[in-house]
Amino acid sequence: MRLALMVSFLLAAGACLLFFFSFEKRKSSVKDILPVVVMVAVASAGRVLFNFLPQIQPVTAIVMIMGIYCGGRTGFLTGAMSALASNLFLGQGPWTPFQMLAWGLIGVLAAVLAKAPVFRKIGAVCVYGFLAGFLYGLITDLWTLMAMGESLSWTLVLTVYAAAVPFNLLHGVGNVVFLLLLYRPLGKKLERIQEKFGVLAS
């Protein structure tokens, strides 16, 4: 069990690096990167601002929107960098790669789902946003299990994930609220940027 969790840590860090290299190979210009930097800054500031509320923050919603409108690479980069940047204020640690991977994958999956026109409707987006709270917890709680060391057992694993359900539920509800507030206005701005400057095209 301990070995499996260590492997999962290395895979999380490795997956983040692979996506960064993939984005780098696109040889994006400054005008391609700047909107991502702005969204990372907004998401990170929002996470820090709402830190007093457990699991309630706008990062997941913003990452989803970037994935839907700008594609999987951009969604992953936004999610991973938001975790890294916000943890400069909230605290870096071995848990950071798991948070980067979790938010990054949420952005990628949003991009994949967005290929179906029905998914772009606010109702479907909110359903995914709610479930994304549990997906995030599923990945990041691997760090919690790693921290328990040799005392791990399958019973303890189930206990950890069961204890996380209320927090994941809050995360999911928070995602829905932020999506209702941000999805249409932010989506329209991203579309306008794509049309006017030819950047961030999915």
Predicted TM-score (pTM) of the model is 0.85
Residues 72-102 pLDDT 10s = 888 988 998 899 889 889 887 778 888 988 9
Which pLDDT does position 21 carry in this prediction? Answer: 64
Which pLDDT does position 24 carry in this prediction? Answer: 60
Q: Is the pLDDT of residue 4 over 60?
A: no
The amino acid at 175: N
Residues 159-190 pLDDT 10s = 889 999 999 999 999 999 999 999 999 999 98
The amino acid at 43: A
Place 30 in a pLDDT band, splitting at 50, 70 and 90: low
Which pLDDT does position 36 carry in this prediction? Answer: 84
Return the structure tokens found at 18. Answer: 């692979």
Q: Is the pLDDT of residue 19 over 70?
A: no
Which residue bears the tokens 């999956």? Answer: 109
Which pLDDT does position 59 carry in this prediction? Answer: 97
